[in-house]
Amino acid sequence: MKQLGKFGKLTPATAEAFQGWNAVAFKDGALSQKTKELMAIACAATTGCDYCLDVHGKSAKRAGATETEVAEALMIATAGKAGAAFAHAANAFQAFNDAEDDELFKKSYLSHVPGLKELAPDDFGAFFNFTMKATAKGELDVKEKELISTAVALITGCPYCIDSHVKNAKKAGATKEELAETVFIASALNAGSAFTKSVTPLKTFD
């Protein structure tokens, strides 16, 4: 990835600040480095950044993560992306019903979602069977899974998912400090997916 090294010469101050931010974000804090790296894997799977997956997969292994923990984090990302689309059924049915409300996202719209069980019962059951298993306690505990789910939701931008997973994380014992660090891991990985895409345009100057 020699193209990424160009930032040290092209935008030295910004590049240094970016790397400094990442170094701070991934050090042990309220969340362990291992948890942060597992969270980063889920976020990278959500953004589709192959470079990030490679870097954070190796970092997670060095931090002591097991293959099962990595697999569970990846399943959380998979469930999170599915959940974001599912939650927006609330808005899809608002549109189908010709609603004239000026606000696109209201909790009250979620009242449409249970209707999917009647409209597509087999799909509804299979979907919830998967998502409930993905967030159930495994090698990762429920609090870790809900915080990882929160990070994924911050990237997908699903307001319903953010609300649900933050509340679930709090119920499982998560602190404000852990939530704050989750926010910065999600932010770093969202930024990282853009940063690594720099390779393509910078290659044109070689």
Residue 193: phi, psi to the nearest 5?
-65, -35
- Residue 49 predicted with pLDDT over 70: yes
**Contact status, residue 125 vs residue 66, Cβ threshold 8 Å:** no
Give the residue-averaged pLDDT of 62-81: 98
pLDDT at 145 over 90: yes
CA distance 125 to 121: 6
Mean confidence (pLDDT) of the chain: 92
Name which residue leads in pLDDT, 175 or 113.
175
User: Using an 8 Å Cβ cutoff, are 182 and 31 in contact?
Assistant: yes
CATH of domain 33-198: 1.20.1290.10
For the stretch 110-141, pLDDT in tens is: 676 777 788 899 998 999 999 999 999 999 99
Report the alpha-carbon distance of residue 120 to residue 133 in Å, rounded. 20
User: Which residues are within 8 A (CB) of 129 and not within 5 positions of it... i.e. 6 or more apart?
Assistant: none
Instruction: Give the pLDDT confidence score for residue 1 in this predicted structure.
Output: 67
Burial zone of 93 (CB within 10 Å; 0-12 exposed, 13-18 middle, 19+ buried) = middle
pTM of the model: 0.91
